[in-house]
A = this chain, B = another copy of it.
Amino acid sequence: MAPAYLVYITTADEEQARRIGRALVERKLAACVNIVPSIRSIYWWQGQMVDEGEALLLVKTLEGALDGIEQTVQELHSYTVPAISAVPVERLHGPYLRWMHEVMGFHDLPGA
């Protein structure tokens, strides 16, 4: 089975999270996406401390889709430098991992 990942992506707002999330699922680059609609974010940007609202997109996916996720996010995200952080899932409920492979069409991959 291909290793699973949880990809953590912040977006400008909920609508952008849903647009990117839908595209990832439609393109079979994610089995499922979860959106936390309203978070606060604090960071430096061009010498100023920014404190603003964002949304959080959490993507359940498999290793072979990580390149495609980066390309899709860059294509659809409004930021020039979006945060796309892939965290390894060390252990995933067996039946769910199999369902991920089916729904993402990964059955033909070596090790899938």
| A→B interface (CB under 8 Å) | 4-6, 8, 10, 14, 18, 21-22, 25-26, 30-44, 49, 51, 54, 56, 58, 60, 66, 70, 73, 80-93, 95-96, 99, 103
Contact = CB atoms under 8 A, between A and B. Distances in A.
The binding surface of chain A is classed by DSSP as strand
Contacts of A8: 6, 58, 89
B43 A31 contact: yes
A41 B33 CA distance: 6
Contact of A86 (B40, B73, B92): B92
Nearest to A3: B90
Given A10-B32, A10-B34, A18-B40, 18 more contacts: A5-B90, A25-B43, A25-B44, A34-B40, A35-B41, A73-B93, A80-B95, A81-B95, A82-B93, A82-B96, A83-B92, A83-B96, A84-B96, A85-B93, A86-B90, A87-B89, A87-B90, A88-B88
